[in-house]
Amino acid sequence: MRLRRFTEPVFESLIKISGYSTGFIVLLIVIFLFKEGISFFNLSPVDEGSSLWVHNSNPVKKLTAPQIKDIFDQKITNWKALGGNDQPISLCTLDELGEAFTEEQLGAKFERLPACIDSYIDSLPGTIGFFPDKQTANALKNAQPVQVDKVSFSKFISGTEWFPTSRPAASMGVMPLLLGTLLVSFFAILFALPLGLAAAVYLAEIADERVRRILKPVIELLAGIPSVVYGFFGLVVIVPLVQSTFNLPVGETALAGSIVLAIMALPTIITVSEDALRTTPRAMKEASLALGASQWQTIRKVVVPYAASGITAAAILGIGRAIGETMAALMVTGNSAIMPRSLLQPVRTIPATIAAELGEAPFGGLHFKALFALGCILFIITLIINFLVERVSAKRVR
């Protein structure tokens, strides 16, 4: 008795402490995520410690990251296209200087490099140069640095190009990834919801008790299978199937992703909506049948409407699963970060992007932070989904 008086407060405080510390850790993670994600904005897309230079006479003083990419990919070859004079663009990096000047001219320690750049640019006024600041010492006479637009939130969201490693300026538009994620998830749920609902109705209303007792645990078990296994299954079964059915060069497409994610979301959708369907009181069903309704009419007009909010919650949970899914999406969607045009194209989802690129992004760099910003977007999407689930299931408790 006296012992209990002593142990109870101890347990109580232990529970409290673990509750608080869990909450604290979650909060820390969120803060860390957003701190890294937000610090991404207002950085320059050009490598830190390097600058772009143009001749003083060049009226183009400002470029965007996609423009720079096009220039260095030689898709844009004349300044006219950028609102400048009609003169061809020539590219100049340290490599070109190495060819144009002898080691003697450059100096043993490259101490005469700025002078060389100056004369190079002056001889070719259409030049755009890209040099480390260490070499130019920001002391060029005939050239001036190009201003590059900072990464802004609106550009990040609306940008349609994702080339985080391209140099000299990285393009980081999240649109293709966002659309890829939404496309794959939307179709996943479009496939999974009717199937899942049908299976749930079958389990709750039609299957006899013996079948149900076997099927239900099996389906619940499916929810626990690691996603890499689903991804593997998708890779060996779904991807070739998609490829041969639609006669495609590659089978890794948004469609394959949607199918695999649909399969993954099914167990959640089935179990949650089956539970909801089973809450329909027996008396309600009997009343319907006693009025001459068929079993199917009873399901359609009484059972499903009664469970509507539970079914909605199941759908939203399924969407959440699909949107956040990383491994399987990475394995079967083909991962090309282009604006999705059809289901039969490779796409890349946000989680897959983070997983694939985080390893190669230099710690703390622009790319690294961009991936955190992606994480923030994903976090916000899931937050919205959870909020919707709360709303819907709150309605259930009439």
Which of these, 42, 26, 88, 83, lies nearest to 60 by C-alpha position? 83
Binding site for another protein (CB under 8 A): 208-209, 281, 283-284, 286-294, 297, 301-302, 305-306
Pairing of strands 147-148, 50-55: unpaired
Residue 215 CB, nearest approach to another protein (Å): 17
Residue 309 CB, nearest approach to another protein (Å): 11
For residues 44 and 393, which CB has a smaller minimum distance to another protein in the complex? 393
Burial class (CB in 10 A: 0-12, 13-18, 19+), 94: middle
Rounded Cα–Cα distance for residues 136 and 112 (Å): 10
Q: In degrees, to the nearest 5, what angle opens at C-alpha 228 toward C-alphas 232 and 273?
A: 105
Residue 298 CB, nearest approach to another protein (Å): 8
For residues 167 and 396, which CB has a smaller minimum distance to another protein in the complex? 396
Residue 202 CB, nearest approach to another protein (Å): 16
Residue 286 CB, nearest approach to another protein (Å): 6
Rounded Cα–Cα distance for residues 190 and 202 (Å): 19
Rounded Cα–Cα distance for residues 135 and 129 (Å): 12
Residue 204 CB, nearest approach to another protein (Å): 14
Helix axes 2-39, 366-396, angle to 10 degrees: 130
For residues 201 and 337, which CB has a smaller minimum distance to another protein in the complex? 201
Question: Residue 168: is the preceding peptide bond cis (ω within 30°)?
Answer: yes
For residues 182 and 289, which CB has a smaller minimum distance to another protein in the complex? 289
Q: How far is CA 91 from the centre of its chain?
A: 34
